[in-house]
Every structure is written in C-alpha cells, then in structure tokens.
Amino acid sequence: MIDTRKVAVVGCGFVGSSSAFALMQSGLFSEMVLIDVDRARAEGEALDIGNGSPFAHPIDVYAGDYEDAADAAIIVVTAGAAQKPGETRLDLVNKNVGIYESIIPRIREVGFEGILLVVSNPVDVLTYAAIKMSGLPESHVIGSGTVLDSARLQEALGDHLGVDPRDVGAYIIGEHGDSELAVWSSADVAGVPLKDFCEMRGHFDHVAAQRRIADDVKGAAYEIIARKKATYYGIAMSVARLCGAIMRDEHCVLPVSSLMVGEYGLTDIAISLPTIIGRAGIECRVPISLDEDELARLHASAEALSDVIDRAGLREL
C-alpha cells in the first residue's frame, strides 16, 4: 500500500541532495529515503538535511535501499552523470541509460506503485526508458521536462517587463535541451497577449527581444555549468513544485515530459507539453495553440529525440 507521507530520492549528488533539501522544507512528507550507490554520501546527506528539519517540519530522513522505497508515494530519480562544460544533455545518453538499467528494474522488483519522477538527463529519453523499464502505467512516469526552462523564461520575461514572473503565462516546450522552443504566439501576462503587454511597458522590438530571451533560457545551464560546474537549486525547486502538485492533487498545468499518444501527430516519444498534473500523475496534455513555425519546431525537436531513442535501442525494451 502507498504511504502518502513518504518520498524517496535516488541519486544524492548536487541535484538529489538539493531536491531532498527542498522537499524537507516543503512539509509535504514525513519520511524521506535517500538512495545512492555511494552509501556514505546518502548517509551524510540524510544526517545534514535531518539537522535542518527542526527549523522546518518534522521528517524522518534516512539512507536506505529500494525495499525502503517500495511504498513511497513518489520516487524522484536524479542519479546519473551530469553535463561537463561543453557537453550537451544528449551526450549523456549511453552512460545514463546504463545507470537507469541498474535502478528502474530494482524499483519494479520491489513492487513500487507510486509516481516515478525522472530528473536525470537527457530527461526526455530517460523518461521514455523509465516507462519501458518500470512496467508502471504511463501516467505514473513523469519527466521534469521543461518545468525549469519555463521557470527561466518566466524569470527572464518578468525582468524584461518589470512584472512578477508568476504572472507571466509562457511555456518552453519540446526537448529539455538544445531543440526546445518558446511558445510566443500564446504567451500572455494577466491575460494580455505578450506583444501588447510588451508595448504597454515600452518594448517594441519583439523579434530581437524574443530571440535574446529564448537564447538566454536555452543557454542558462551552459552558463551556470561553466561557472560552478553544476546546476541544482532551480531544478530542486522544480522537483518540490512537481511533488506539491502531485501530493496536493492540484490539477495544475506544468510542462512535464510524458509519453505522446498522438498529440500534434507525435507518438512513441516522451517530450514536454503543458500537462495537467495531480495525485494520479499525468491527467492529460493541454492542447496549447501553436503557430506554424512553433509546430514545425516542435516536430523537429521530437525528431531529434526520436533519433536518440532509436540509436540507444530503447524501442525494443
């Protein structure tokens, strides 16, 4: 039976430990299992994060094994090699598919029935692999996808327009990676079309501004990795946001990666689109309106991912 107060995090490096830290502070769970091949690392993180809990919410944080995670409501998988300076997310595929082959079957063996949240990169390809390897219903396997990229877009537009980023309605969709795209055609602030809002705030050079902001968002991880070798706070907040959406059964719209079943003509790949998320995981994709150019770019992004899935031999799983 699922314990609705328990979460597990597999992989306790930069992303896993930051996510665990954010989850401890969220108050969503009263028990958290940390799993890592480096057991001492998991133990150290559990002790450190547990020490902070008296300032937040009571929670039992401990290093454990897959058996301990069997009844968790959510398992967050962040294990895997991270990008080095100059590497793309897709460069990580072989290494991280290998790591997933040693993790996901273990999760399956212990009879896990909750929601599997895939964070390791390339997240879309690993979400697809996790769906195949886990035997879970597709709706229970969610990739963090472009949730972080969309937050970066909201932040950049908020800065540009002098408005709270939370009031910006704009999404990055497609691959969480180099072929991602911003959906400008339906972006808005407080229901006002983005172009009109820009003009209201004295910005008229839409083409140049959109290009600059989309490039900054796409390049954000490269810029951070060049300076501090890894990105982790933004993704940790994304993980906490996603866990909150699931545990509180919010039915909120977040651009996660999930298996396509004909949306925009796409099938048999995982890719990010705005999606309704709740206690049952993925409820449905939201058919956001795309202009001709955006649709073509979404298809190009899907093709890039499809090629990687083929080359990694994941269709046969």
Ligand X SMILES: NC(=O)c1ccc[n+]([C@@H]2O[C@H](COP(=O)([O-])OP(=O)(O)OC[C@H]3O[C@@H](n4cnc5c(N)ncnc54)[C@H](O)[C@@H]3O)[C@@H](O)[C@H]2O)c1
The reply to whether 230 sits near ligand X by the rule CB under 6 A is: yes
The reply to whether 102 sits near ligand X by the rule CB under 6 A is: yes
User: According to CB under 6 A, which residues from 168 to 187 bind ligand X?
Assistant: 176
140, 160, 176, 203: the catalytic one is: 176
The reply to whether 21 sits near ligand X by the rule CB under 6 A is: no
Q: How far is the CB of 207 from ligand X (least distance, A)?
A: 28
The reply to whether 108 sits near ligand X by the rule CB under 6 A is: no
Q: Are 302 and 172 contacting, i.e. CB atoms less than 8 angstroms apart? A: no
Q: Are 7 and 29 contacting, i.e. CB atoms less than 8 angstroms apart? A: yes
Backbone angles phi, psi at 84, to 5 degrees: -95, 165
Q: Given the complex with ligand X, which of 176 and 285 has the nearer CB atom?
A: 176
263 to 64, 158, 298: CA distances (angstroms) = 39, 30, 11
Q: CA 13 to CA 79: how far, in whole Å? A: 8
The reply to whether 235 sits near ligand X by the rule CB under 6 A is: yes
Q: Which amino acid is at 131?
A: I
Q: Given the complex with ligand X, which of 123 and 273 has the nearer CB atom?
A: 123
Q: How far is the CB of 231 from ligand X (least distance, A)?
A: 5
**How many residues line the site for ligand X (CB under 6 A)?**
32
Q: How far is the CB of 242 from ligand X (least distance, A)?
A: 11
Q: Which of 243, 69, 227 is closest to 144 using CA atoms?
A: 243
The reply to whether 99 sits near ligand X by the rule CB under 6 A is: yes
User: According to CB under 6 A, which residues from 52 to 91 bind ligand X?
Assistant: 78-83
User: According to CB under 6 A, which residues from 274 to 313 bind ligand X?
Assistant: none
The reply to whether 38 sits near ligand X by the rule CB under 6 A is: yes
Q: How far is the CB of 58 from ligand X (least distance, A)?
A: 26
Q: Does residue 299 have an active-site annotation? A: no
The reply to whether 220 sits near ligand X by the rule CB under 6 A is: no
| Binding residue (CB under 6 A) for ligand X from 26, 134, 144, 258 | 144
User: According to CB under 6 A, which residues from 39 to 58 bind ligand X?
Assistant: 41
| Binding residue (CB under 6 A) for ligand X from 37, 200, 284, 296 | 37
The reply to whether 19 sits near ligand X by the rule CB under 6 A is: no
Q: Given the complex with ligand X, which of 80 and 169 has the nearer CB atom?
A: 80
Catalytic residues: 176
Residues that bind ligand X (CB under 6 A): 10-16, 36-38, 41, 78-83, 92, 96, 99, 102-103, 119-121, 123, 144, 148, 176, 230-231, 235
